[in-house]
Amino acid sequence: DAVVCPVTPTPAFPHDHHPDPLERLIAVDGVEYPYFDQLVWAGLPTMPGLPATAVPAGRSPEGLPVGVQIIGP
């Protein structure tokens, strides 16, 4: 068995190079969110210590890369 889920909540995005990582933001539909909100899906296999890998899954309508992660037991 395996679980397939997104790697991040959004496609690829420009990186915010603010010196304080806690001050970095990402705009989604005109609303700014903390940069670390992007890590929510990566935490899914990390917290229980499950094996996982990320693979490309295509492109968004804007042509940005989109991936999925495959999480094992």
pLDDT in tens, 37-70: 888 888 889 889 999 999 999 999 989 899 999 9
Rounded CA separation 13/16 (Å): 9
DSSP state of 7: S
Band (pLDDT 50/70/90 cuts) for residue 11 is confident
| β pairing state of 65-71 and 52-59 | antiparallel
Q: Where are the domains of the chain?
A: 3-71
Which tokens sit at 59?
């492109």
Q: What is the chain's mean pLDDT, rounded?
A: 90
pLDDT of residue 67: 93
Helix (H, G, I), strand (E, B) or coil at 39: helix
Give me the mean pLDDT over the 10-34 stretch: 87
